[in-house]
Each structure stands twice: as structure tokens, then as C-alpha cells.
Amino acid sequence: MTDDRNVLAFPGSPAPPRDGPIDVDLDPVAPPPGAERPGQRAVRGTTLVRNAVVTDAILTAIRAGVPHSVAAALAGVPPATFSKWRQRALAHLEARDAGRPLKSADSPYAVFWMEVEKASAHSESRLVSLIAVAAQRDWRAAAWMLERRFPERYAAAAAPAPASLDVPAGEDARTALAARIDAIQKRTGTSG
């Protein structure tokens, strides 16, 4: 019987669903447990061996709310490698959507990236739910959500910038202010 966590797989290997709190406890320096097989290094030059353990570590961290670059680093994936995976995935998905011929070598990257996007959506949904629960106890959580979700209606209006007198050098501020007031009164047809 083989341990599926050590079998090499393409980046789209689905991660097992997680219920309850997500515990991400990976040493950012060492490769994740199981990433290396006997006689095989996890990193060969700049090409990382993509397996279920690396994929699961990245997706678990993203589901916990960690940014993509940090999730990759936690799984021992160099930023340049993760960026290449993303570029290949997006190129494949763009070609597919445009009806152009597809490179079969890029398909696993596209599957992986769709899983990354799904994990990001899961994280966002979970965080929004937490804010909604907090809003039941504290109105400020609801106000915060409204300000960000519907800023055109609920965001606090920006305070107007204070007017500048731009008083020329050597001129008395009172004289400059009186001249401005006179100019405004003449424009508006009012007098003081």
C-alpha cells in the first residue's frame, strides 16, 4: 500500500476538505514533511517537485487566509517558481478561453491555479462570516462591513482640505484675509 501523500502528482492534486479550524504549522525553512522521497530531493535546481504534500500545504495556508506568496514560502516553494506556475496556469486558461490550441503540459498548472482561487474564495467567505457573527454582538463590525462593501453609501465623507490663504511674503495676514473676503462678497453680491 502506498502513501498517497508521497506519490508525485501534478499541482492540481485536490486537497482534502478541511472542517473546523485550520492549523498551518510549517517550518518555512525546511520542506514540508513528506515532500522528499528516499533518494530524491524536493528541489532540483529551480524546479520544485510538485506533489500532493506541497499542493496541500499551499492550499491549506491559503484557506487559512495567508497571502499566496507566503503560502508558497511556507511550503518551501521559491517565489519565482510559484510565479512561473501562476503564469503557465493563466496562459493555459487564457488560451482555452480564446479557443487557441492548448499545451497539455500547462494543464496541471491550470488545475492547480483553479484550486488556489477556490481556496482564496473559501478564505474570503470564512472571514466575511466571522465579521457577520461579530456584527451580532457589536454594531461596529456591521458598520465596518458596510463601509467597505458599499463605500459610495456608507463610507465616511472625506474632510475637505483646509483652504490656503497663500499670503504673499511681507503682507499682513489680516490684510490678505480682508481682501479675500471683499472679493468673495463682490462675486456673490453680498456685503458685510
Residues 124 and 13: their CA atoms lie apart, in Å, by: 22
Residue 146 has pLDDT above 80, yes or no: yes
CA nearest neighbour of 110 among 91, 124, 137, 82: 91
Structure confidence at residue 174 (pLDDT) = 77
Structure confidence at residue 8 (pLDDT) = 29
Question: pTM value?
Answer: 0.56
What are the Cα distances from residue 60, in Å, to 28, 68, 138?
A: 14, 11, 30
Residue 78 has pLDDT above 60, yes or no: yes
Name the band, by pLDDT with cuts 50, 70 and 90, for residue 175.
confident
